[in-house]
Amino acid sequence: MFNKLFLLFLIPIFSIKGFSQRIDSIDFDIRRFTRFPYNNLDLFTPLVKKIQPSHSYKYWEFIINSNFEKRGKTIVCVGDSVTYAKLASKYSSKNGFFDFCHPIICFSYIVAIKDKNRVDIINSKEEFQSFIGKINNIEEVFYLSNLLDFNFVTDTLVTGSYRKKGSKYLLYLNKNLYNVESIFPVNRKSIKAIIKKSGEFLLVDEKVYY
């Protein structure tokens, strides 16, 4: 478990880039930001139905599995359930993304059906990021940010707010910092970031605020 906690310090390299271009300070003027409408309690709810997959699927399910249940609990079903739900029920996964339930074990995955001959199991961060693809709405911003180990703490704007600018989302995010003596955060970082329409995540700045 301690190894897992140490990993939370690391920024996933598969999808985050440092931002080298000049940012006008007015872009991140906190007075221009709106409190984010969701928090971590919304992560495993029907909110996930707002995701518009990058590929065309006839039917898909978002499933959460706790302590290696046989298949897990289906949170949402999207699409033609009459035709494809029975087929989807035959598929499961022993691993996934959003493994946030320490010290117990839980994870999420998606069963997605393109047709009766093609079933995709989305059970890694990279695959879920590809499943989201281009950013279409604020809900996809929410899921992508959490996928990259950030979250929204909305009791203050510097850790839980956003501003839409053109096709980009400017964000103030939260990053929890841990040590080996506690499973609870000992510090928090305020993260300035940008998510582009393409789904690219740009880390602009970070500082410890608590």
Q: Cα separations (Å) of 116 from 58, 83, 84?
A: 9, 9, 8
> Do 70 and 117 have their domain in common?
yes
Which pLDDT value is given to residue 181? 66
CB 191 within 8 A of CB 207: no
Q: With respect to residue 199, please indicate whether it lies within any of the assigned structural domains.
A: yes
Q: With respect to residue 2, please indicate whether it lies within any of the assigned structural domains.
A: no
> Do 113 and 176 have their domain in common?
no
Q: Cα separations (Å) of 167 from 82, 133, 134, 155, 163?
A: 36, 14, 11, 26, 11
> Do 71 and 173 have their domain in common?
no
Q: Which of 82, 115, 131 is the last residue of a domain?
A: 131
Q: With respect to residue 109, please indicate whether it lies within any of the assigned structural domains.
A: yes
pTM, whole model, 2 decimals? 0.84
Query: How many domains, in total, are found in the chain?
Result: 2
Q: With respect to residue 21, please indicate whether it lies within any of the assigned structural domains.
A: yes
> Do 87 and 109 have their domain in common?
yes
Band of pLDDT at residue 56, cut at 50, 70 and 90: very high
> Do 74 and 111 have their domain in common?
yes
* Residue 142: its H or E element: helix 138-147
The stretch 145-153 carries a mean pLDDT of: 94
Band of pLDDT at residue 6, cut at 50, 70 and 90: very low
Q: Which of 86, 103, 131 is the last residue of a domain?
A: 131
User: Residue 177's domain spans which residues?
Assistant: 12-42+134-208
